[in-house]
């Protein structure tokens, strides 16, 4: 091929390439401007900046969503109690009294006394109905637990005393009493004869322990032992100190201080129950009251929604006889 022909071919190829580029540019322009509006010339588009780099304004943050307005305060108020009800009187009777004292006019004083009369009459009416209800329900009547009549109360106390003596004798067969004293302790000197009488009455063995190694001034319990650490191990802080001990190693404190005969008998009985020397039933018989159903550990279902009749029914049903 001649050089002239080759040159013509190159010119034709260049023309075709230019045409394609122009065609693509027109196509891009059509996409960018679909409405066919002629775009502004560059020198008329100052906002785009020089050298074909547009100065784009910073992206604007999306508008904040308006915060929900806080809920208005509740306008529901506690409903006032009915006038002259017990709740109303508890709140208002002191106010009327204060007013009558601060401004003692006949009207203020009279108003207070009328309200006080209403309060007293309501109380009297409640008392009458309460007496009727209690006396007709053995579950509520305290005379079921212990009679008010003197002769009956005395007989119940006598029976409880016999049961306690029997329980103490049973405890004495299985346990003894530690008696810690100090030779200079005045209360130890007066406690010793009471303890001796008690021990002889029920058959208790007494183990006397001297903290200072010296005997009691009146010579009671001459066969005492000298303390060699027992007091510290048992936590003795003052004398006289007495413990109920069940061999081989169970000990219950009776008192760190002087006790009368009756107090000593009561505490030894309770300690015997703690050590398992007597059972609950035997212990209950030593008390001068009748065993009745107890409500101390019951659980109810329904709460405030229960009617008064349902409430009473559940309490009676779940009460435990001690």
The model scores a pTM over 0.75? no
CATH, residue 171: 3.40.30.10
What is the predicted pLDDT for the residue at 238? 94
Q: Does one domain contain both 187 and 218?
A: yes
Please give the DSSP secondary-structure letter assigned to residue 289.
Answer: S
**Torsion angle (degrees, nearest 10) of CA 99, 100, 103, 109:** 140
Q: Which residue has the higher pLDDT, 215 or 30?
A: 215
Domain endpoint, select from 136, 161, 179: 136
Nearest in space to 275 (alpha carbons), one of 300, 258, 253, 305: 253
Residue 276 is assigned to a structural domain of this protein: yes
Q: What is the mean pLDDT of the chain?
A: 81
Total domains, the chain: 2
User: What range defines the domain where residue 273 resides?
Assistant: 152-286
Q: Does one domain contain both 185 and 259?
A: yes
Q: Does residue 164 register a pLDDT over 80?
A: yes
**Torsion angle (degrees, nearest 10) of CA 300, 302, 303, 305:** -150
What is the predicted pLDDT for the residue at 312? 85
Half-sphere exposure of 195 (CA within 13 A, CB side): 30
Residue 59 is assigned to a structural domain of this protein: no
- For residues 306 and 316, give the distance between their C-alpha atoms in angstroms, rounded to a whole number: 14
Question: Is-contact 187 179, C-beta < 8 A?
Answer: no
Q: Does one domain contain both 124 and 177?
A: no
Q: Does one domain contain both 97 and 199?
A: no
Q: Does one domain contain both 87 and 199?
A: no
Residue 294 is assigned to a structural domain of this protein: no
Residue 119 is assigned to a structural domain of this protein: yes
**Structure token pair of residue 115:** 């309200």
Question: Is-contact 302 314, C-beta < 8 A?
Answer: yes
Average pLDDT over every residue of 45-54: 44
Q: Does one domain contain both 273 and 161?
A: yes
Residue 32 is assigned to a structural domain of this protein: no
């Amino acid at each position: 091929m001649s050089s002239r022909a080759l040159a013509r071919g190159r010119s034709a190829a260049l023309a075709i390439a230019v045409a394609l580029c122009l065609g693509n540019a027109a196509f891009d322009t059509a996409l960018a401007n679909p409405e066919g509006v002629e775009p502004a010339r560059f020198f008329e588009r100052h906002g785009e900046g020089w050298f074909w780099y547009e100065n784009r304004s910073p992206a604007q943050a999306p508008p904040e969503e308006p915060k929900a307005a806080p809920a208005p305060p509740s306008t529901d108020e506690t409903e006032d109690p009915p006038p002259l009800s017990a709740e109303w009187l508890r709140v208002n009777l002191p106010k009327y009294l204060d007013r009558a004292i601060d401004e003692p006019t006949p009207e203020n004083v009279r108003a207070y006394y009328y309200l006080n009369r209403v309060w007293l009459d309501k109380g009297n009416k409640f008392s009458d109905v309460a007496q009727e209800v209690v006396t007709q329900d053995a579950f509520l009547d305290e005379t079921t637990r212990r009679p008010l009549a003197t002769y009956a109360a005395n007989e119940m106390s006598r029976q409880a005393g016999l049961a306690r003596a029997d329980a103490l004798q049973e405890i004495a067969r299985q346990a003894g009493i530690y008696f810690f004293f100090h030779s200079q302790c005045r209360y130890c000197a007066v406690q010793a004869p009471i303890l001796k009488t008690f021990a002889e009455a029920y058959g208790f063995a007494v183990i006397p322990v001297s903290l200072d190694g010296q005997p009691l001034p009146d010579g009671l319990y001459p066969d005492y032992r000298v303390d060699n650490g027992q007091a510290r191990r048992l936590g003795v802080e003052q004398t006289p100190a007495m413990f109920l001990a069940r061999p081989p190693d169970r000990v219950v404190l009776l008192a760190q201080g002087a006790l009368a005969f009756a107090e000593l008998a009561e505490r030894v009985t309770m300690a015997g129950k703690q050590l398992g020397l007597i059972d609950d039933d035997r212990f209950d018989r030593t008390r001068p009251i009748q065993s009745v159903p107890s409500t101390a550990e019951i659980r109810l279902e329904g709460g405030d929604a229960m009617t008064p009749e349902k409430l009473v029914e559940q309490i009676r049903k779940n009460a435990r006889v001690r």
